[in-house]
Amino acid sequence: MSPTVSVVVPVYNEEGAAVQVASEIESVFSKTYGEGGFEIIMVDDRSTDASYARLSEAKQRIPALRVLRHEHNSGKSAAIRSGVMAARAGIIVTVDGDGQNPPADAARLAMILRDAPPHVGLVAGQRRARQDTASKKWASRWANGIRKSLLNDNCDDTACGLKAIRRDVFLRLPFFDQLHRYLPALVNREGFTTLLEPVDDRARTTGQSKYTNIGRLAVALTDLPGVMWLNRRLRKPGKVSEAE
Protein backbone atom coordinates (compact mmCIF):
# COMPACT_ATOMS: atom_id res chain seq x y z
CA MET A 1 0.00 0.00 0.00
CA SER A 2 1.35 3.41 -0.96
CA PRO A 3 1.59 5.98 1.83
CA THR A 4 -0.86 8.86 2.04
CA VAL A 5 1.74 11.43 3.05
CA SER A 6 5.46 11.83 2.35
CA VAL A 7 7.26 14.04 4.86
CA VAL A 8 10.29 15.59 3.13
CA VAL A 9 13.04 16.98 5.36
CA PRO A 10 16.05 18.80 3.87
CA VAL A 11 19.14 18.36 6.06
CA TYR A 12 22.49 20.12 6.03
CA ASN A 13 24.87 19.85 9.00
CA GLU A 14 22.17 19.08 11.55
CA GLU A 15 23.80 16.13 13.34
CA GLY A 16 22.42 17.35 16.66
CA ALA A 17 18.81 17.62 15.51
CA ALA A 18 18.08 15.45 12.45
CA VAL A 19 17.51 12.11 14.19
CA GLN A 20 15.32 13.71 16.84
CA VAL A 21 13.28 15.37 14.08
CA ALA A 22 12.77 12.00 12.39
CA SER A 23 11.74 10.39 15.69
CA GLU A 24 9.21 13.14 16.44
CA ILE A 25 7.71 12.92 12.97
CA GLU A 26 7.39 9.14 13.29
CA SER A 27 5.68 9.46 16.67
CA VAL A 28 3.17 12.10 15.53
CA PHE A 29 2.31 10.72 12.09
CA SER A 30 1.94 7.11 13.25
CA LYS A 31 -0.95 8.22 15.48
CA THR A 32 -2.76 9.83 12.55
CA TYR A 33 -1.87 7.67 9.57
CA GLY A 34 -0.82 4.38 11.13
CA GLU A 35 1.95 2.04 9.99
CA GLY A 36 2.51 2.30 6.26
CA GLY A 37 0.35 5.41 5.93
CA PHE A 38 3.32 7.78 5.75
CA GLU A 39 6.99 7.92 4.93
CA ILE A 40 9.79 10.19 6.11
CA ILE A 41 12.32 11.21 3.49
CA MET A 42 15.38 12.90 4.96
CA VAL A 43 17.54 14.40 2.22
CA ASP A 44 21.13 15.07 3.27
CA ASP A 45 22.53 17.88 1.16
CA ARG A 46 26.10 16.58 1.38
CA SER A 47 26.59 17.52 5.04
CA THR A 48 30.15 17.86 6.30
CA ASP A 49 29.23 16.61 9.79
CA ALA A 50 27.78 13.27 10.96
CA SER A 51 24.19 13.97 9.88
CA TYR A 52 24.10 11.29 7.17
CA ALA A 53 25.75 8.62 9.33
CA ARG A 54 23.39 9.22 12.23
CA LEU A 55 20.32 9.20 10.00
CA SER A 56 21.47 5.98 8.33
CA GLU A 57 21.81 4.35 11.75
CA ALA A 58 18.36 5.61 12.76
CA LYS A 59 16.75 3.68 9.90
CA GLN A 60 17.07 0.54 12.04
CA ARG A 61 14.61 1.87 14.63
CA ILE A 62 12.43 4.15 12.48
CA PRO A 63 10.78 1.90 9.85
CA ALA A 64 9.19 4.78 7.94
CA LEU A 65 12.52 6.56 7.46
CA ARG A 66 14.23 6.82 4.09
CA VAL A 67 17.59 8.61 3.80
CA LEU A 68 18.79 10.18 0.57
CA ARG A 69 22.11 11.94 0.03
CA HIS A 70 23.25 14.41 -2.60
CA GLU A 71 26.57 13.86 -4.30
CA HIS A 72 27.10 17.63 -4.28
CA ASN A 73 25.81 20.31 -1.94
CA SER A 74 22.99 21.97 -3.89
CA GLY A 75 20.86 23.92 -1.41
CA LYS A 76 17.55 23.54 0.37
CA SER A 77 15.31 23.77 -2.68
CA ALA A 78 17.26 21.03 -4.46
CA ALA A 79 16.99 18.81 -1.38
CA ILE A 80 13.24 19.34 -1.25
CA ARG A 81 12.95 18.56 -4.96
CA SER A 82 14.97 15.35 -4.57
CA GLY A 83 12.64 14.28 -1.77
CA VAL A 84 9.52 15.06 -3.80
CA MET A 85 10.88 13.18 -6.80
CA ALA A 86 11.49 10.11 -4.63
CA ALA A 87 8.18 10.38 -2.73
CA ARG A 88 5.52 7.71 -3.11
CA ALA A 89 2.59 9.72 -1.72
CA GLY A 90 0.38 12.27 -3.42
CA ILE A 91 0.66 14.73 -0.54
CA ILE A 92 4.03 16.18 0.43
CA VAL A 93 4.75 17.90 3.72
CA THR A 94 8.03 19.77 4.13
CA VAL A 95 9.66 20.13 7.54
CA ASP A 96 13.00 21.79 8.30
CA GLY A 97 15.73 19.56 9.68
CA ASP A 98 16.74 21.89 12.51
CA GLY A 99 13.95 20.96 14.92
CA GLN A 100 12.21 24.35 14.87
CA ASN A 101 9.08 23.07 13.09
CA PRO A 102 6.64 21.15 15.36
CA PRO A 103 5.68 17.84 13.67
CA ALA A 104 2.16 18.20 15.07
CA ASP A 105 1.68 21.23 12.84
CA ALA A 106 3.04 19.28 9.87
CA ALA A 107 0.45 16.55 10.43
CA ARG A 108 -2.30 19.17 10.72
CA LEU A 109 -1.33 20.86 7.44
CA ALA A 110 -1.32 17.47 5.71
CA MET A 111 -4.84 16.72 6.92
CA ILE A 112 -6.09 20.14 5.80
CA LEU A 113 -4.74 19.54 2.30
CA ARG A 114 -6.02 15.97 2.23
CA ASP A 115 -9.57 17.18 2.98
CA ALA A 116 -9.41 20.28 0.78
CA PRO A 117 -11.01 20.50 -2.68
CA PRO A 118 -8.76 19.78 -5.69
CA HIS A 119 -8.21 23.45 -6.53
CA VAL A 120 -6.24 23.88 -3.28
CA GLY A 121 -2.66 23.05 -4.20
CA LEU A 122 -0.74 24.30 -1.17
CA VAL A 123 -1.22 24.84 2.55
CA ALA A 124 1.53 27.15 3.77
CA GLY A 125 2.46 27.57 7.41
CA GLN A 126 2.77 31.08 8.83
CA ARG A 127 4.81 31.37 12.02
CA ARG A 128 2.88 33.27 14.67
CA ALA A 129 5.71 33.65 17.21
CA ARG A 130 9.08 33.34 15.50
CA GLN A 131 11.93 32.28 17.77
CA ASP A 132 14.59 34.34 16.02
CA THR A 133 16.75 37.38 16.67
CA ALA A 134 15.33 40.85 16.11
CA SER A 135 17.65 41.44 13.13
CA LYS A 136 16.60 38.17 11.49
CA LYS A 137 12.93 39.01 11.95
CA TRP A 138 13.50 42.48 10.48
CA ALA A 139 15.32 41.12 7.41
CA SER A 140 12.58 38.55 6.80
CA ARG A 141 9.83 41.13 7.27
CA TRP A 142 11.53 43.47 4.80
CA ALA A 143 12.04 40.76 2.17
CA ASN A 144 8.53 39.35 2.65
CA GLY A 145 6.98 42.78 2.32
CA ILE A 146 8.68 43.49 -1.01
CA ARG A 147 7.89 40.05 -2.38
CA LYS A 148 4.27 40.19 -1.26
CA SER A 149 3.67 43.60 -2.86
CA LEU A 150 5.26 42.67 -6.19
CA LEU A 151 3.96 39.11 -6.56
CA ASN A 152 0.61 39.61 -4.82
CA ASP A 153 0.84 36.16 -3.22
CA ASN A 154 -0.82 37.32 0.04
CA CYS A 155 1.76 35.40 2.08
CA ASP A 156 3.56 37.00 5.03
CA ASP A 157 6.06 34.19 5.71
CA THR A 158 7.17 32.23 2.66
CA ALA A 159 10.37 31.13 4.43
CA CYS A 160 8.42 29.00 6.91
CA GLY A 161 9.58 25.40 6.41
CA LEU A 162 6.16 23.90 7.12
CA LYS A 163 4.19 23.43 3.91
CA ALA A 164 1.85 20.80 2.52
CA ILE A 165 1.66 20.57 -1.26
CA ARG A 166 0.20 18.15 -3.76
CA ARG A 167 3.03 16.25 -5.42
CA ASP A 168 1.63 16.68 -8.93
CA VAL A 169 1.36 20.44 -8.37
CA PHE A 170 4.97 20.69 -7.19
CA LEU A 171 6.19 18.81 -10.26
CA ARG A 172 4.48 21.36 -12.50
CA LEU A 173 6.52 24.24 -11.08
CA PRO A 174 9.67 25.60 -12.76
CA PHE A 175 12.68 24.65 -10.66
CA PHE A 176 15.43 27.03 -9.56
CA ASP A 177 17.55 27.59 -6.48
CA GLN A 178 15.52 29.14 -3.61
CA LEU A 179 12.28 27.88 -5.16
CA HIS A 180 10.97 27.09 -1.67
CA ARG A 181 10.70 30.83 -0.91
CA TYR A 182 8.31 31.38 -3.82
CA LEU A 183 5.97 28.38 -3.60
CA PRO A 184 2.75 30.38 -2.93
CA ALA A 185 3.30 32.64 -5.95
CA LEU A 186 4.25 29.76 -8.24
CA VAL A 187 1.35 27.57 -7.09
CA ASN A 188 -1.03 30.47 -7.72
CA ARG A 189 0.59 30.93 -11.13
CA GLU A 190 -0.48 27.40 -12.05
CA GLY A 191 -4.11 28.24 -11.20
CA PHE A 192 -4.25 26.59 -7.76
CA THR A 193 -5.23 28.15 -4.45
CA THR A 194 -2.93 28.55 -1.46
CA LEU A 195 -4.29 28.32 2.07
CA LEU A 196 -2.39 30.04 4.89
CA GLU A 197 -2.35 28.40 8.32
CA PRO A 198 -0.77 29.66 11.58
CA VAL A 199 1.91 27.34 13.00
CA ASP A 200 4.24 27.39 15.97
CA ASP A 201 7.98 27.94 15.88
CA ARG A 202 10.51 26.52 18.32
CA ALA A 203 13.88 27.91 19.30
CA ARG A 204 16.91 26.25 17.74
CA THR A 205 18.72 24.18 20.38
CA THR A 206 21.61 22.85 18.30
CA GLY A 207 23.58 23.81 15.20
CA GLN A 208 23.33 27.17 13.50
CA SER A 209 21.28 28.87 10.82
CA LYS A 210 22.50 28.41 7.25
CA TYR A 211 21.38 31.91 6.22
CA THR A 212 22.65 35.40 6.99
CA ASN A 213 20.55 38.56 6.87
CA ILE A 214 22.59 39.82 3.92
CA GLY A 215 22.11 36.47 2.22
CA ARG A 216 18.35 36.69 2.60
CA LEU A 217 18.25 40.16 1.12
CA ALA A 218 20.50 39.08 -1.76
CA VAL A 219 18.14 36.21 -2.57
CA ALA A 220 15.16 38.56 -2.57
CA LEU A 221 16.85 41.01 -4.93
CA THR A 222 18.20 38.29 -7.23
CA ASP A 223 15.28 35.88 -7.59
CA LEU A 224 12.28 38.18 -7.31
CA PRO A 225 12.71 39.73 -10.81
CA GLY A 226 12.96 36.21 -12.23
CA VAL A 227 9.69 35.10 -10.65
CA MET A 228 8.04 38.30 -11.86
CA TRP A 229 9.30 37.45 -15.38
CA LEU A 230 7.82 33.95 -15.11
CA ASN A 231 4.46 35.42 -14.16
CA ARG A 232 4.51 37.87 -17.08
CA ARG A 233 5.41 35.16 -19.59
CA LEU A 234 2.61 32.77 -18.61
CA ARG A 235 -0.05 32.13 -21.25
CA LYS A 236 -2.99 30.05 -20.03
CA PRO A 237 -4.73 27.81 -22.60
CA GLY A 238 -7.91 27.47 -20.53
CA LYS A 239 -9.66 24.11 -20.42
CA VAL A 240 -7.90 21.41 -22.45
CA SER A 241 -10.20 18.94 -24.20
CA GLU A 242 -9.47 15.76 -26.16
CA ALA A 243 -11.26 14.68 -29.32
CA GLU A 244 -13.39 11.56 -28.94
pLDDT of residue 139: 61
Give the burial string for 176-211 (b: 16+ CB within 10 Å, else e): eebbbbbbbbbbbbeebebebbebbbeebeebeeee
Question: pLDDT at position 134, please?
Answer: 64
- Mean pLDDT over each residue of the chain, to the nearest integer: 90
Domain ranges of the chain: 5-232
Name which of 231, 128, 229 is nearest 188 in CA terms: 231
pLDDT at 154: 84
CATH entry, 5-232, from 3.90.550.10, 3.30.390.50, 3.30.420.40, 3.40.50.10490: 3.90.550.10
For residue 63, pLDDT beyond 70 = yes
Question: How confident is the model over 171-210, as pLDDT tens digits?
Answer: 999 999 989 999 999 999 999 999 999 999 998 888 676 6
Q: How many Å separate Cα 200 from the centre of its chain?
A: 15
3-state secondary structure the chain: CCCCEEEEEEECCCCCCHHHHHHHHHHHHHHHHCCCCEEEEEEECCCCCCHHHHHHHHCCCCCCEEEEECCCCCCHHHHHHHHHHHCCCCEEEECCCCCCCCHHHHHHHHHHHHHCCCCEEEEEEEECCCCCCHHHHHHHHHHHHHHHHHHCCCCCCCCCCCEEEEHHHHCCCCCCCCHHHHHHHHHHHCCCEEEEEEECCCCCCCCCCCCCHHHHHHHHHHHHHHHHHHHHCCCCCCCCCCCC
Higher pLDDT, 231 or 137: 231
- pLDDT-above-70 percentage for the chain: 88
Check residue 66 and give its pLDDT: 98
Reported as a pLDDT band with limits 50, 70 and 90, residue 213 is low
- Give the rounded percent of residues in the chain with a pLDDT score beyond 90: 68
